[in-house]
């Protein structure tokens, strides 16, 4: 699924997300883009979140009669 973010292709071409091994590494790369209040820093985080949400299993919580929560697939 291609990104819907306007600046995604620019950030991807820069290699910002290439070979990431941890969230800490992503944070360092995003911080290196500039001041934490700049648009490019916000865009980089938004593109990451969009990709993360698109690739993770969607789960919801459901309560049973006991009042305890259990996870169920959002696709069920």
Task: Sort 48 into a burial class: Cβ within 10 Å, 0-12 / 13-18 / 19+.
Answer: buried
Residue 24's pLDDT is 94
Q: Does residue 46 lie within any of the structural domains?
A: yes
Instruction: For residue range 2-59, list pLDDT tens digits in order.
Output: 788 888 999 999 999 999 999 999 999 999 988 767 889 999 999 998 888 888 776 5
* Boundaries of domain holding 13: 8-73
In angstroms, the CA 30 to CA 39 distance is 11
Q: Does residue 3 lie within any of the structural domains?
A: no
| Domains held by the chain: number | 1
Q: Does residue 67 lie within any of the structural domains?
A: yes
Q: What global pTM score does this model have?
A: 0.67
Judged by DSSP in three states, 66 sits in: coil
The torsion region of residue 25 among left (phi > 0), alpha (psi -120 to 50) and beta comes to alpha
Q: Does residue 31 lie within any of the structural domains?
A: yes
């Amino acid at each position: 699924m291609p990104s819907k973010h306007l600046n995604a292709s620019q950030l991807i071409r820069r290699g910002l997300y290439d070979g990431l091994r941890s969230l800490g590494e992503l944070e360092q790369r995003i911080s290196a883009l500039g001041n934490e209040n700049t648009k490019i820093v916000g865009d980089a985080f938004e593109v990451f979140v969009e990709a993360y949400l698109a690739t993770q299993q969607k789960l919801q919580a459901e309560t049973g009669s006991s009042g305890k929560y259990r996870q169920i697939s959002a696709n069920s």
